[in-house]
Structure 1
Amino acid sequence: MDIEKLKQWMEVAQNMQGGEFWNNIFDQDFAKQFLDDQPFKTAPESSKGEPREKQQTSQVFPIIELLEGEQEVYVIIELPGLKKEDIELGIAGDVLTIKGINSPIYSQLKRTYSERFTGEFQRQIKLPDTISPNQLNARYWNGLLIVSYPRAYSRVEIIPIDE
């Protein structure tokens, strides 16, 4: 690959990520999502009644959708079967963190096959804006956690210049 093309690609990638591209690439929590081939584990019982480690598909949980409008930003987080008491939401700058626990529905039964994620989870979502917690609005409806906040536009203030 031509070194100039590589430099151009790096510049485009950095501009698309708001200048935080390389910080995000090397951020350990963010990188774990991509480095771990099978991030979700459950512990069903083996045929002898002993717990065994079984890895599920490398699907990310929970699934999210980020929607940006002129006036507001929405993050829709799919949490099927969870109660709002099982969910914790936090914000630090421009990173929204969702964590909780998804308990099995029939924990007394032997799991023969499952594509459902169960267990503890945590996901960090990079938002397009840096916001404070009091700007967030979160509501839980039909297994969807809908988080929204108003867009913050900086108005240019004219500063008088003294002679």
Structure 2
Amino acid sequence: MALRDLIPWSRQENRLPATVEPEREAALESHPLLSLHREVNRLFDDVFRGFGVPAFAGLGRTASWPQVELDENDTEIRITAELPGLDEKDIDILVEDGVLTLRGEKRAEVEDKKRGYSERSYGRFERRIGLPRGIERDKAQASFRNGVLTVTLPRSAEANENVRRIPVNAKAA
């Protein structure tokens, strides 16, 4: 088998997918080099999935933890973060220079020597979220319930004065 047989296009056919006869396709499927290629791809997908990097096939966790949800209206900005397995004493919340910082540490419940296998993640985390101008940081509030942190940041009256609504005219196009 030539290495060219593994390439899905042919240079002479303007890079269109190459056609393979059905009996030859069956022989290619059982070829050891092709099998090795599939196993190496699977191995790399598993390794990258373990580090929190999305796998090549689009599977896996996102790289930023904790996952947050932002909701805003004219009076406040509400940020919700999922922090399962943590207590309020494990979390620090800071507002400084227009940035909300969520930081903390998730500790293991048992020593490493006693754990046989674990897919849970432990360690320190920090998530920084940029905030718009006009936040009253002195009136900020936070609550923590059932592993969900909610931070409420009220907007100042001046922040709403700088907003201008622009009407949409559908017939102007």
Q: Alpha carbons of 1:70 and 1:131: their partners in 2 closer, same or farther (altered >3 Å)?
A: closer
8 Å Cα contact 1:61-1:117 kept in structure 2? no
Structure-2 residue corresponding to 1:151: 155
Q: Alpha carbons of 1:69 and 1:101: their partners in 2 closer, same or farther (altered >3 Å)?
A: same
- The list of structure 1 runs, each at least 4 consecutive aligned residues, that deviate by more than 2 angstroms after superposition, is 105-113, 128-133
Structure-1 residue corresponding to 2:131: 127
8 Å Cα contact 1:93-1:130 kept in structure 2? no
Aligned partner of residue 157 in structure 2, secondary structure: coil
Structure 1 unaligned spans of 5+: 1-54, 157-163
8 Å Cα contact 2:136-2:155 kept in structure 1? no
Structure-2 residue corresponding to 1:85: 89
Question: Which is richer in strand?
Answer: 1
Q: Could you give the per-residue CA deviations for residues 76-103 of structure 1, whole angstroms, max 9, x where no partner exists? A: 0111010111111111131001111101
Match among 112, 117, 141 for residue 117 of structure 2:
112
Question: Which is richer in helix?
Answer: 2
What is the Cα-based RMSD across aligned positions, in Å? Answer: 2.0
Structure 1 residue 107 displacement after superposition = 3.0
> TM (normalized to structure 1)?
0.55
> TM (normalized to structure 2)?
0.52
Distance 2:86 2:111 in 1: 15
Aligned partner of residue 134 in structure 1, secondary structure: helix
In the alignment, is residue 71 of structure 1 matched against residue 75 of structure 2? yes
Aligned partner of residue 65 in structure 2, secondary structure: coil
Structure 1 residue 75 displacement after superposition = 0.4
Q: Alpha carbons of 1:72 and 1:107: their partners in 2 closer, same or farther (altered >3 Å)?
A: same
In the alignment, is residue 57 of structure 1 matched against residue 52 of structure 2? yes
Quote the sequence identity (%).
Answer: 31
Higher RCO (CA-CA < 8 Å; seq separation 6+):
1
Structure 2 unaligned spans of 5+: 1-49, 54-62, 163-173
| Bigger mean CA offset, 90-99 vs 124-133 | 124-133
When Rg is computed on C-alpha atoms for both structures, the one with the higher figure is: 2
Structure 1 residue 70 displacement after superposition = 1.9
Amino acid at match of 1:137: Q
